[in-house]
Amino acid sequence: MIARSRPNVPLAAVLTAAVSALVGCGASGNERAREYMPDMARGPAYKAFAPNTATRNGLTLQAPVPGTIARGHLAFQNHFGAGEEEAARAGRELTNPLRQSAATIEDGRGLYQTYCLVCHGTNGKGDGPLVVAGKIPTPPAYSSDRVAAFPPGRIFHVVTMGTQKMPSYAALLTPDERWKVVSYVSGTLQNEKGKKGRAAP
């Protein structure tokens, strides 16, 4: 039987390490404790537009890599194009990610009144102030047989991409805000004449 040799660690080295650890942890909340290799955690700070010798192009502020998506945004336009066929496909493939709560619908109502009422009217009948003044053609009522059957995904497509005379609202409303508008339209205005089917046209 072969006896294993234990490493010979001097007691003084163990005590030194323990004291060093305790000293490093002894700082108060308002002062920095002792750090081992502080340059690993605290590199030099660069201003966004200052030259930077650490980057290949000498710039501190770098452009996002191709395909970068901002937090909270989906690359909707990468998956769906404009037009009726794509709108119908969005109706089949997209579902509203927001919970249909009273708060969501109320937020959607406020956004609708700000951005949509001027054309679509208070109750979604297509009788907004711009229509009454003869400035734009009359949009279809949300409770009409055709539009009442639009599923939420198709309405989201219309708000995002626009359709016919209606422009895109993607630059004015975040995806969550658009879905809140959809929640209000599909939960309230499409049902003015009673519940209707949600099958894609």
Domain boundaries, the chain: 76-191
pLDDT at res. 83: 86
The one-letter code for the residue type at 56 is R
pLDDT tens by residue, 87-120: 999 999 988 999 889 999 999 999 999 999 999 9
More confident residue, 23 or 59: 59
> What pLDDT was estimated at residue 201?
32
Tokens of 120: 């679509």
What are the residue ranges of helices labelled H in the chain? 11-24, 76-79, 84-93, 102-115, 117-120, 129-132, 145-148, 152-161, 175-187
Lowest mean pLDDT among 20-24, 44-48, 118-122: 20-24
The DSSP secondary-structure symbol of 96 reads -
Which of 34-38, 54-58, 64-68 holds the top average pLDDT?
54-58
Q: Inform me whether the pLDDT recorded for 199 exceeds 80.
A: no
Q: Give the pLDDT band of residue 39 (cuts 50, 70, 90).
A: low
> Structure pTM?
0.60
pLDDT at 26: 58
Could you read off the pLDDT of 126-185 as tens digits, one per residue? 999 999 999 989 999 999 988 889 999 999 999 999 988 899 998 899 989 999 999 999
Q: What is the 3-state secondary structure (H, E, C) of 55-90?
A: CCCCECCCCCCCCCCCCCCCCHHHHCCCCHHHHHHH
Distance between CA atoms of residues 80 and 189, nearest Å: 25
What's residue 15's pLDDT? 76
Query: Is residue 118 within 8 Å of residue 130, measured between CB atoms?
Result: yes
Question: Percentage of the chain with pLDDT > 70?
Answer: 77
3-state secondary structure at position 102: helix
- The 10 Å Cβ neighbour count of residue 76 is 16
Q: What are phi and psi of 51, to 5 degrees?
A: -60, 155
The mean pLDDT of the chain is: 82
Look up the CATH number of domain 76-191: 1.10.760.10
**pLDDT of 5:** 53
